[in-house]
Structure 1
Amino acid sequence: MEIKAGNNDGRSLLWVIIVVILILWLLGFLVGNVGSLIHLLLVVALILIILTLLGVI
């Protein structure tokens, strides 16, 4: 069995971005001063998750 590097088409990087956005969103509830920008980040994360599950990205 041969393991090739780079055959995940950037999906691991996409998941890292999604996790970072979700962590920032959760921190926004603790800080409270960020405003509605945190909710915008959540929407972006959800859109990326849906597009990934549909196989668009």
Structure 2
Amino acid sequence: MMYLFDCTIDPGNLSLPQAHQVMQIHKCCTVDNCLVRRRARQVLVDKGQMVLGQRAAP
């Protein structure tokens, strides 16, 4: 079972559609305090769907 609503639980592997959904669900979160948004951002970056600015932490 995948938890997409709890910021404190890393959801593990996400599909590209799930990553997009997570970014909407957790739009008020930051990657510093939300493991789900952090995972989704990494999926989007890895798939070339998002490009991080120079100030963004890896």
Smaller-chain TM-score bracket:
0.3 to 0.5
- TM-score by structure 1 length? 0.36
- Considering fraction of residues, name the structure with more helix: 1
- TM-score by structure 2 length? 0.36
